[in-house]
Amino acid sequence: MDLDDILQHAHQCGASDIHLVPGHPPVLRINTQITPMEGAIVQAAEVDRWITKLVGEHHRERLQAQMDVDLSYSIEGIGRYRVNIHRQRGVPAIAMRIVNDTVPALEDLNLPPIIEKLAWLPRGLVLVTGDTGSGKSTTLAALLDAMNARYRKHIITLEDPVEYMFQSDKCLIEQRELGEDLPSFASGLKHALRQDPDIILVGEMRDLETTALAMSAAETGHLVLSTLHTVNASQTVERIIDMYPPGQQNQIRSMLGNTLQAVVSQTLFSRVDKPGMVPAVEVLLCTAAVRNLIREARTFEIPNVIETGRRQGMVTLDASIAELYLNGFISREDALAHASRPDAMNRSLAA
């Protein structure tokens, strides 16, 4: 089998992910469903040959040392892929995710209207959260593209790997890739502050040092965009605070209360009205009331503030899910399965 032929077939099927595991046929994820390709079984020797095609010398050394490596791969006329090479049962395997060539417009993503207004923020911390594959990177890319068309500013992205490729419009955009252009997010963020940025995108706040530097950058007048693997706004706030030792957490609550501007939490659903995916989105905007809750360690009250903040543009996840169902985009079963309060959701859908 040829790797590019597999990717060509996946492209024709509209697959979002490709899994190449020895002993199995190539497996595609199509509209969230795992679907094996018909035909030959992937052999370990083939995976080794494909890895040689995918990796450069730097990534090969990293793969040998860490047994996991992330990189990007492109095929002209088909697209770009985010690639993870790893080992399982003692043999290498490959997971690939398609990255669209064109950055989608915010208005085409079926997001709440308030999201577009985040592109006007002058400073602070904006977090887009959700599980892997929930559309975080796409939302952030659309936000950056809106800024690129609106401002004359300097944008620096720190990514693992670079996904959407931006063309500088009114902004100057520099994209730096982990492993190729910087050794770690923390190192890249530390040096980015000396490169005259206005806006910084950090692929993920995955450790304490990166989180601390991102918050410091936001506190000193930069707009910082990043992601976390959390499912809602209150969990996001607690995850950040829990990264710090207990003796520092009160100080961090105060800093986070001052710098956080918004949390957007996403979950993707398969559409029932047509092929494709659609996001349900929870939106927390950091009003004065929310900042006080963060400082006073009362994050458990954040869902109530979101519920009562609809006029300001805040949206609960359950309200977003219900709207998708009522508009005929998703099934009732999916709506109930992903609701934070299934009983209340069942009653609201029946009303």
Report if residue 310 sits inside a domain.
Answer: yes
Q: Judge if 52 and 111 occupy the same domain.
A: no
Place of tokens 């005259």: 196
Tens digit of pLDDT for each residue in 229-238? 999 999 999 9
Tens digit of pLDDT for each residue in 180-222? 899 999 999 999 999 999 999 999 999 999 999 999 999 999 9
Q: Judge if 76 and 189 occupy the same domain.
A: no
The domain boundary, picked from 99, 114, 134, lies at 99
Report if residue 224 sits inside a domain.
Answer: yes
State the pLDDT confidence band at 276, using cuts at 50, 70 and 90. Answer: confident
Q: How far apart are CA 258 and CA 241, in angstroms?
A: 14
Q: Judge if 145 and 249 occupy the same domain.
A: yes
Q: Judge if 58 and 127 occupy the same domain.
A: no
Q: Judge if 69 and 182 occupy the same domain.
A: no
Q: Judge if 58 and 170 occupy the same domain.
A: no
Tens digit of pLDDT for each residue in 31-90? 888 999 998 899 999 999 999 888 876 667 777 777 888 888 888 888 889 899 999 999
Burial (CB < 10 A; 0-12, 13-18, 19+), residue 185, is buried
Report if residue 325 sits inside a domain.
Answer: no
Report if residue 250 sits inside a domain.
Answer: yes
Give me the pLDDT at residue 284, please. 98
Give me the pLDDT at residue 170, please. 96
**Cβ count near 92 (within 10 Å):** 18
Q: Judge if 115 and 79 occupy the same domain.
A: no
Q: Judge if 146 and 70 occupy the same domain.
A: no
Side-chain half-sphere exposure of 130, counting CA atoms within 13 A = 23
Q: Judge if 197 and 293 occupy the same domain.
A: yes
Q: Judge if 126 and 143 occupy the same domain.
A: yes
**CA 3 vs CA 48, 86, 94, 290: distances in Å:** 11, 17, 11, 50
For residue 102, pLDDT over 90 is answered with: no
- Name the residue range of residue 58's domain: 3-99
Report if residue 160 sits inside a domain.
Answer: yes
Domain CATH number, residue 265 = 3.40.50.300
Geometric angle at alpha carbon 287, from 120 and 279, rounded to 5°: 65
Q: Judge if 152 and 13 occupy the same domain.
A: no
Contacts of 126 (CB under 8 A, 6+ apart): 118, 143, 223, 224, 225, 226, 261, 262, 263, 264
For residue 25, pLDDT over 70 is answered with: yes
State the pLDDT confidence band at 307, using cuts at 50, 70 and 90. Answer: very high
Q: Judge if 53 and 177 occupy the same domain.
A: no
Average pLDDT over the chain reads 93
Which DSSP symbol is given to 229? S
Give me the pLDDT at residue 39, please. 84
Report if residue 346 sits inside a domain.
Answer: no
Phi/psi for 336 (5° steps) reads -70, -35
Domain CATH number, residue 61 = 3.30.450.90
Q: How far apart are CA 108 and CA 104, in angstroms?
A: 7
Provide the number of structural domains found in the chain.
2
Give me the pLDDT at residue 161, please. 81
The domain boundary, picked from 99, 120, 138, lies at 99
Geometric angle at alpha carbon 19, from 18 and 22, rounded to 5°: 145
Report if residue 270 sits inside a domain.
Answer: yes
**CA 1 vs CA 56, 78, 285: distances in Å:** 22, 18, 50
Report if residue 184 sits inside a domain.
Answer: yes
Give me the pLDDT at residue 57, please. 65
Burial (CB < 10 A; 0-12, 13-18, 19+), residue 168, is exposed
Return the biggest CA–CA distance within the chain.
Answer: 61
Give me the pLDDT at residue 58, please. 65
